[in-house]
Amino acid sequence: MSSRFTRRQMLGSSVAAAGSFVAVSCAHQSAQGSKSNWNLGPDKNLVRDLTPGTTPVRLSGYLGALLAQRDKISPTESIKKLVDDGFRGCHCDAAVIHELKDSELKELNEALKQYDVAVFEIGGYQNMIHPDAAERQKNLKFLANCLEAAEKVNCPQVGTCTGSRDPNSYIGVHPDNWSDETWKLTVESVKQVLRDTSGLKAALGIEAQITMNVGRPQDHKRLMDDVGDKRCAVNLDPVNMVSLDNYYHTTELINECFDLLGEQILGAHAKDTYIWPDKQTVHVQEVASGRGVMDYETYLVRLSRMKWSRTLLPEHVPADELLFAGAYIRKVAAKVGVKIYGD
């Protein structure tokens, strides 16, 4: 059956469509972040301050896989291998730390001190806002266990994300992730873990994820303010905050992170961001440092201005790409005058 439209109806539809376009355009502009004057393309007039600080940046390797072979190599040999590979920082999992005998733990801590290596992160990535209350409590208990492991090796933080209301994925996009109710649950979940581990020094280092309710620098700040405990801190990963709106503005994004979050940044992750060029919809892919558009000159300079040495962890790429990433970071650091710890 055919449909006929009058001229008035057609004009009305056109006006409505134009109004919708304006509304969407305005919403798009307001959603571009705290820097409302950002355009999608790069700011050709941007002037970067690349004056380095005096604080060396540690590069991180992975300690867990080495400690898991302690029937073959000792904890001391594990730390020495990290140093030989060029790392003065490391990541580890809680289970490995808890499995150590008292004598092994003592040896490990002595080796960390002897070789001047810092365990900067215990991995504790769990869904803190799981929709099932029983699962959520299990996850929060796990995080408390991770904080206890961090304390054993003088690690400043347990890395984690806030999570998702998706029951099947802690990083899943879900329409309820950004509701007021979910935010309140997020704050209470963080508070519960910190209450349950009262007396410990290690913090929860929240890592941003654009698919979650902590996906931007200002979200980090809001969470820390609402929790009101210095043990709610930041495990910085600017790549996870990238969308099309700020893809060509990673300099501004990095500066916003450091300006807003400052010394509450306890550690940092190193990868890069790249948009597939031949797709009709936006696919933002994480790649090895140096394979994308992240402004590593600014990233390293801002890390070098911190009061004490932060550790930067290359991650989420194949082993051969990790080697490339490490070499790239060192090359950029040398270019801008940032010292890599131990080099």
CATH number of 308's domain: 3.20.20.150
CA distance 54 to 339: 8
Q: What average pLDDT does this structure show over 27-48? A: 67
Residue 43 lies in a domain: no
Q: Higher-confidence residue: 335 or 316?
A: 335
User: Per the structure block, which two tokens stand in for 4?
Assistant: 């006929």
CA distance 17 to 27: 15
Concatenating the DSSP letter of every residue in 101-116 gives: -HHHHHHHHHHHHHTT
Residue 148 lies in a domain: yes
Domain count along the chain:
1
Tokens 């890069």: give the residue: 272
Q: Is the pLDDT of residue 37 over 80?
A: no
Question: Per DSSP, which regions of the chain are E strands?
Answer: 58-62, 89-93, 118-123, 157-160, 203-206, 232-236, 265-270, 272-275, 284-287, 311-314
Burial class (CB in 10 A: 0-12, 13-18, 19+), 324: middle
DSSP 192: H
261 — pLDDT class (breaks 50, 70, 90): very high
Structural domain span for residue 321: 58-336
Tens digit of pLDDT for each residue in 237-248?
A: 999 999 999 999
CA distance 69 to 54: 37
pLDDT at 254: 98
pLDDT at 108: 98
Please tell me whether residue 313 adopts helix, strand or coil conformation: strand
Residue 6 lies in a domain: no
| Residue 15: partners with Cβ closer than 8 Å, 6 or more residues away | none
Q: What average pLDDT does this structure show over 327-338? A: 98
Residue 45 lies in a domain: no
Residue 209 lies in a domain: yes
pLDDT at 15: 35
Residue 19 lies in a domain: no
Residue 27 lies in a domain: no
CA distance 232 to 128: 14
Residue 21 lies in a domain: no
Q: How far is CA 137 from CA 126, 140, 216, 249, in A?
A: 11, 5, 26, 38
CA distance 339 to 343: 7
CA distance 152 to 281: 46
Residues shown for the chain:
343
Tens digit of pLDDT for each residue in 90-149?
A: 999 999 999 999 999 999 999 999 999 999 999 999 999 999 999 999 999 999 999 999
Full-model pTM: 0.88
For 70, the enclosing helix (H) or strand (E) is none
